[in-house]
Amino acid sequence: MKAKARAHTNIALVKYWGKADKALKLPLMSSISMTLDAFYTDTEFNHSQDLEQDAFYLNEIKQTRQQSQRVFNYINELRKKFNLDQNEHFEIRSYNHVPTSAGLASSASAFAALAASFAKSYDLNLDKTALSRLARLGSGSATRSIFGGFVEWQKGTNDETSFAKAIDENPDWDLHMLAVEVNTGQKKISSSIGMQWAQKSPFYQTWLNENQSEINALKKAIAKHDFTNLGEISEQSANEMHAVNLSANPGFTYFEPDTLELINLVHTLRQQGIECYYTIDAGPNVKILCTLRNSKEIISAIHNLLGNVKIVNASFGPGVQYLD
Ligand code: ADP
Ligand code: DP6
Ligand code: CO
């Protein structure tokens, strides 16, 4: 009655940032991401008549009722969906090899690993499309973490049609993402809340109108292994997301001073002929897209600017896996 799964985080290049349906986590836009090898979550799900209470441990620490609410609600929703015993107790033991709630996509790897371990513990025998839909009910970005490499989440129109698909699970491309850990503390505005506020920006609809053409352009760049196009589209999508945050009412931002320092550094490096692009999620940390060839020089420029800040050099990671 126990199962364990590993899922890697993914970073969106064309961002998901808004919901058409909060309960089903149906997005207002399609998105494309890169699954990363360097960050992941391992989760064990156990259900048994012998357990006396529900429990959620994160990195060996038992979480409070309040900290567990989101995962408890999720498990109860899934048990209802599959007509499983609602009274049996369960225990979740999860390990984040990624900073939690810091804009490095912990909710993506977390809910993908939880969906997979849950489904296996009940022998539900779900294919990857079904798992992707299940992960979506936990966190939108988790929809994509079922697959490796480049992944597209087609927004769909309902629970059946909103899921992710692999574009290329094993790209033969030396594309790297440097995750610069500006601040790994817990963000004050969760992604769920941030995107809800962002939808109040007067520019939000204008951004949405561009979504399908951005998706098409990025897919073309991926197919051609066109780094320049991929980088430009990714940077633009991130800028658009952070612009609707600033222009919401009230406006807000996830940026910190070092976030801006890094944005400026990427511009300077490009002027010097070192090609790289940034993307930023719901947190102050900056991810820099580059090739392996350029990564050494970029890393030393970041250290020159920000001292011994932690930089994780990531590349393509795999889809969800079951562990023994
Ligand atoms: P992030 O930028 O890290 O994805 P979010 O605001 O999207 O931040 O999501 C953070 C939330 O995800 C946490 O508050 C918690 O509810 C959930 N979460 C993170 N890691 C885990 C985990 N390993 N297992 C279950 N839930 C998790
Ligand atoms: C900026 O998937 O964390 O990382 O669906 O409310 O759980 P919920 O939000 P979440 O939002 C991710 C936002 C993003 C962009 C992206 O991953 O596409
Ligand atoms: Co998240």
Pocket of ligand 2 contains residue 103 by CB under 6 Å: no
188 CA distance to ligand 1 middle (Å):
13
Give the class (CATH, top level) of 2-171.
alpha beta
Q: Which fold has domain 176-314?
A: Alpha-Beta Plaits (3.30.70)
Q: Which atom of ligand 2 is nearest to the CA of 111?
A: 7
Give the residue whose CA is nearest to atom 6 of ligand 2.
192
Pocket of ligand 2 contains residue 211 by CB under 6 Å: no
Give the residue whose CA is nearest to atom 11 of ligand 2.
191
Give me 62's structure tokens: 């038992």
Pocket of ligand 1 contains residue 196 by CB under 6 Å: no
pTM of the complete model beyond 0.95? yes
Any idea where the domains of the chain sit in the sequence? 2-171, 176-314
Pocket of ligand 1 contains residue 97 by CB under 6 Å: no
| Chain segment 237-289, per-residue pLDDT in tens | 999 999 999 999 999 999 999 999 999 999 999 999 999 999 999 999 999 99
| Chain segment 43-79, per-residue pLDDT in tens | 999 999 999 999 999 999 999 999 999 999 999 999 9
Rounded average pLDDT over 147-169: 98
Note whether ipTM > 0.95 here.
yes
pLDDT grade for 19, boundaries at 50, 70 and 90: very high
pLDDT grade for 311, boundaries at 50, 70 and 90: very high
